[in-house]
């Protein structure tokens, strides 16, 4: 880019990669992870699950369709996955300063600058991704004018940083669903509202067991699930009842921990729109959108829990279910945004369980 300032990406193993600055000319540290998704950077950058992370995009050209303007649906964003950018920094190969799309309101660089997020371009992102695949996700930093120390965001309670402070209500539908917001994507809220529910959105540490509700939903979110001790304690109470529970991503890990199982950190995580999963006990497979660095260790689950979905790339757990109660979860994102919507029917299955529960009361 003409007149671009020089910056560098520094990894914890000592690797230094020179590049050019776009977005905010500032330094930032975080965990360096990669996504192989070809599109969807407005959704990815606003996904709270990326909090504290420096995101490497493997697709060779980024920014060519700009960033759309804001639109609201039921007081939430129709396009973005939250109200701000959550990544600590962005790493791309070629950044397109020029953008062209009928919906674009600004460039990617302008948008990053608004939130003081640094970007670095001119990086061989595929070489970098190979390094991260071989050595695992690493701490790193984008260094501009002033150096900053390395920082491990997984030592922080990132969920507490991205979860809302108060209770919010949406819709007036036929079922009352409590959504425990550990960093939820707005498309999850949209998926529920499109299915005519009353949604009660509560903070991560809110004692939802005191509420009157028909079904419980556990959202996605960033960081180590074991940081969410308050959520796990409340969830353990809910698991003694029979009200349906559905969890996505971090919500799946929290369900596993509350059930008595354990979680572990993946070497480099699953972040893409093309992750294949298989429904356990069948030959039925789905292509899914994923963004997670931790997973449930199914070997530690009690006997009354089963693995629901399996990742066909590495065999890790992509969801769990209770054998007799209406509790289930997915490690992937049925609502996508961006990505395939092949498994959005799981929202309908959850609400079917809510119907059955209400009919049997």
Q: Residue 271 maps to which CATH number?
A: 3.40.50.880
Given phi > 0 = left and psi -120 to 50 = alpha, else beta, which region is 293? Answer: alpha
Query: One of 31, 81, 198, 335 is an active-site residue; which one?
Result: 335
Q: Do 217 and 347 fall into the same domain? A: yes
174, two tokens: 């036929």
70, two tokens: 């804001």
Q: What are phi and psi of 23, to 5 degrees?
A: 75, -140
Q: Number of structural domains, the chain?
A: 2
99, two tokens: 């953008």
**More confident: 74 or 340:** 340
Q: Do 182 and 279 fall into the same domain? A: yes
Q: Do 132 and 281 fall into the same domain? A: no
Q: Residue 60: what pLDDT?
A: 96
119 belongs to an annotated ligand binding site: no
Within 8 A by CB and 6+ apart from 301, the residues are: 256, 259, 260, 261, 307, 320
Q: Do 105 and 170 fall into the same domain? A: no
Residue ending a domain, choose from 108, 131, 155: 155
Within 8 A by CB and 6+ apart from 265, the residues are: 154, 224, 293, 294
Look up the domain containing 34 and give its range. 6-155
Q: Do 183 and 197 fall into the same domain? A: yes
- Alpha helix stretches (DSSP H) within 150-289: 158-162, 186-193, 229-238, 250-259
Q: Residue 360: what pLDDT?
A: 87
Q: Residue 233: what pLDDT?
A: 98
Q: Do 174 and 87 fall into the same domain? A: no
Residue ending a domain, choose from 133, 155, 177: 155
Q: Do 126 and 265 fall into the same domain? A: no
Query: One of 121, 317, 333, 353 is an active-site residue; which one?
Result: 333
CATH number at residue 93: 3.50.30.20
3-state helix, strand, coil in the chain (%, to 5): 25, 35, 40
Q: Do 65 and 137 fall into the same domain? A: yes
d(CA 141, CA 147): 9
* Band (34; pLDDT cuts 50, 70, 90): very high
d(CA 181, CA 162): 9
Return the minimum-mean-pLDDT range out of 1-5, 79-83, 104-108, 137-141: 1-5
* 151 catalytic per annotation: no
Identify whether 261 is part of a domain. Answer: yes
Residue ending a domain, choose from 129, 155, 181: 155
* 335 catalytic per annotation: yes
Give the tens place of pLDDT for each residue, 227-240: 999 999 999 999 99
294 belongs to an annotated ligand binding site: yes
């Amino acid at each position: 880019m003409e007149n671009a300032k020089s910056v560098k990406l520094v990894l914890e193993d000592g690797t230094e990669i020179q590049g050019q600055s776009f977005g905010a000319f500032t330094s930032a540290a975080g965990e360096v992870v990669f996504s192989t998704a070809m599109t969807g950077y407005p959704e990815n950058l606003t996904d709270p699950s990326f909090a504290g992370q420096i995101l490497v995009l493997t697709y060779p050209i980024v920014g060519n369709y700009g960033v759309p303007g804001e639109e609201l649906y039921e007081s939430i964003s129709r396009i973005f996955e939250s109200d701000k950018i959550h990544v600590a920094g962005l790493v791309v190969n070629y950044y397109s300063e020029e953008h062209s799309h009928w919906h674009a309101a600004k460039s990617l660089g302008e948008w990053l600058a608004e939130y003081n997020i640094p970007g670095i371009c001119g990086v061989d992102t595929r070489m970098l991704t190979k390094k991260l695949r071989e050595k695992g996700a690493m701490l790193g930093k984008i260094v501009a004018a002033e150096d900053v120390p390395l920082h491990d965001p997984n030592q922080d309670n990132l969920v507490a940083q991205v979860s809302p402070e108060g209770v919010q209500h949406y819709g007036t539908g036929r079922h009352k669903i409590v959504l425990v917001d550990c960093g939820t994507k707005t498309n999850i809220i949209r998926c529920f509202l499109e299915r005519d529910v009353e949604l009660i959105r509560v903070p991560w540490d809110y004692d939802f067991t005191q509420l009157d509700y028909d079904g419980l939903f556990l959202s996605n979110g960033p960081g180590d699930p074991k940081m969410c001790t308050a959520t796990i304690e409340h969830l353990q109470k809910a698991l003694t009842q029979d009200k349906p529970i559905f969890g996505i991503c971090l919500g799946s890990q929290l369900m596993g921990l509350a059930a008595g199982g354990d979680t572990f950190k993946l070497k480099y995580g699953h972040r893409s729109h093309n992750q294949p999963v298989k429904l356990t006990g069948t030959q039925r497979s789905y292509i899914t959108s994923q963004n997670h660095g931790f997973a449930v260790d199914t070997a530690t689950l009690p006997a009354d829990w089963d693995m629901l979905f399996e990742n066909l790339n590495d065999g890790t757990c992509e969801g769990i279910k209770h054998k007799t109660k209406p509790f289930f979860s997915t490690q992937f994102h049925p609502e996508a945004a961006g990505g395939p919507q092949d498994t959005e029917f799981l929202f309908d299955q959850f609400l079917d369980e809510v119907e059955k529960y209400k009919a049997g009361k």
